[in-house]
Each structure stands twice: as C-alpha cells, then as structure tokens.
Amino acid sequence: MTIAYACILFMGLLPYVAVGIAKKGFEGYDNAMPRQWLAKQTGFRARANAAQANLFESLPFFFAAVIIASVAHAPQDRIDLLAVGFVLARIVYLICYIANWPTTRSIVWLFGIICVVSLFFQI
C-alpha cells in the first residue's frame, strides 16, 4: 500500500472522528434519532458535526485525484507528498473548526484544495 492509498483510508475514517467529538459525552444523545439530536447541538458539538459533513464532502475529489494520478503513473513521491499535505490540512481544518477559528480554517481549507488540484497537475 502506498502512502497516498493509506491517506485515502485515513481520510475515509476522519469524518467519524469528527462525529465522535460532536457526540462527546453523549449528553442527552438520542440514538433513535441521531441526526435530529446533532442538528439541535450548539457550540463545539455543532461545529464538529459541520466539520464531519465537510470532511465527507471533500472525499470524492481527493479520492479521485489520488487514484487518477496513480493510474496515470504520476511520480509516486509527489502523489504521496500531496496526499499527506491534504491529510495534514484536513486534520488542522478539523481542529480549527472545533476551536472556532474561521479565518485560519479557511486558509487551511485552501491549502488542502491546492494539494488536491496539484495532484491533477502531476498527470
């Protein structure tokens, strides 16, 4: 397994970390209606849930970029570097979202998108 493919696996699991943070302590958690419970949350729980949604939304673009670059035989070291850059950006993004640092979060988001777009230019 390449580093980039390991990044795909990691990114596939990262949204679940965000939702775990949103459900931290399960105060009043309703497992029968988890989405409705999450929709009513405020503060860090609401931000973690929003981060979860955004993390899921970013997956197809990232997965496609890594796979297409790999199939096109782009240099593996560059694919790995850009994939790791994206993963690190998304981890910092999650931290910024939960901490309520919107400007920093947007800058980190931009860095992540640049990594993904750059993967396409490796082809």
> In this structure, what token pair is assigned to residue 104?
């920093």
State the total domains in the chain: 1
Structural domain containing residue 31: 3-120
pLDDT at 2: 96
Q: In the prediction, which pLDDT does 30 show?
A: 77
User: Among 10, 123, 64, which residue's Cα sits nearest to residue 1?
Assistant: 10
pLDDT in tens, 77-96: 999 999 999 999 999 999 99
In this prediction, the residues of the chain whose per-residue pLDDT falls under 50 are none
- What CATH number is given to the structural domain containing 90? 1.20.120.550
pLDDT for the residue numbered 81:
98
User: What token pair was written down for 51?
Assistant: 């981060």
Integer Cα distance of 21 and 93 in angstroms? 14
